[in-house]
Amino acid sequence: MKESVVRPVSILSTRGLIPAVVHGPREPAGRANEPPGVVLCCHGLLSAKDSSKFVGMAEHLSQKGLWAVRFDFTGCGENTSRFGASLMETRLDDLRCVVAWARSTPGPWGGEAVLGLFGSSLGGFLSYAFAGLFPGVVRALTLWAAPACLLEIATAAKPRPLLLERAWPFELPLGTPNPVDGFPPVPNVLIVHGTGDELVPWHHAVDYYRCAAEEKQLMLLEGVDHRLSDPEARAMASKATVSWFVRKLMARG
């Protein structure tokens, strides 16, 4: 198996710099005149771009000929940017800036890109929210253990341990948008959730499935927790995710 091309980048936002890492295939995939497929990886509330989940996913995607970008939201990992007016406004603005950078020319992939979003937990909600707010910008999504309504997160956020305080300062409101059924139906969504999720009950996945437009798929993993920590379950979810993005971002006739 050939290693992917990996390099760090800094993406300019309205509030600072967003640290990111780009994974690219060593050999081009698809037809020479077709835009490359690029997947932006959106981590959860307390995670970061360097978690094993996102490093592994970026590697799997690049091995199949796709580009992948993992980045740190404000308050997480290496991102020291200023916060905006609310948690949601801040993170959506981070994602908007990363998307704008990914769509710029020439970009690391040499030109126009076809975009997908891979989001875990809160990153899944943000991915769906972005696709709903900006129709047509993103071709396909995969959501892992994503909450369909953020009110439970807001309720569970007090008292805040140090890690949570850094990612979501006490005085910073949750903000909007919320919940997921307030968005227009988003097409091309793969929804992955464990029935043993202790943080986000699996009915949230059903809510996404009901709200999403075709094509959509729901993958429930029996007894699996929020982090998909079981190696076999994570491998199954990763395989399904990579296959989904290959079909949606590369098989363009």
Q: Which residue has the higher pLDDT, 42 or 4?
A: 42
- Residue pLDDT, tens place only, 106-139: 777 877 899 999 999 999 999 999 999 999 999 9
Report domain extents, the chain. 5-249
Average pLDDT on 159-172 reads 86
Q: What is the pLDDT of residue 1?
A: 47
Q: Which of 253, 205, 198 is nearest to 229 (CA)?
A: 198
| Phi, psi at 23, each rounded to 5° | -110, 125
Q: What is the CA angle 185-133-200, rounded to 5? A: 65
Rounded to whole angstroms, the Cα distance separating 3 from 220 reads 31
Q: What is the pLDDT of residue 158?
A: 57
Burial class (CB in 10 A: 0-12, 13-18, 19+), 159: exposed
Percent helix, percent strand, percent coil in the chain, to nearest 5? 35, 20, 45
CATH number of 5-249: 3.40.50.1820
Which pTM value belongs to this model? 0.94
- Residue pLDDT, tens place only, 30-73: 555 688 999 999 999 999 999 999 999 999 999 999 999 999 99
Rounded to whole angstroms, the Cα distance separating 185 from 212 reads 5
Q: What is the pLDDT of residue 4?
A: 74
Parallel/antiparallel/unpaired status of strands 189-194 and 216-221: parallel
Q: And the tokens for 63?
A: 């091995």
**Rounded alpha-carbon distances, angstroms, from residue 209 to 12, 50, 72, 237:** 34, 29, 27, 17
Q: What is the pLDDT of residue 147?
A: 96
155 has pLDDT over 60: no
28 has pLDDT over 70: no
108: helix, coil or strand? coil
Q: What is the pLDDT of residue 110?
A: 74
Rounded to whole angstroms, the Cα distance separating 83 from 95 reads 13
Q: What is the pLDDT of residue 253?
A: 46
- Residue pLDDT, tens place only, 185-234: 999 999 999 999 999 999 999 999 999 999 999 999 999 999 999 999 99
Which stretches of the chain are DSSP H helices?
52-63, 87-103, 122-133, 151-155, 162-167, 203-211, 231-249
Please, are residues 174 and 154 in contact by the beta-carbon 8 Å criterion? Answer: yes
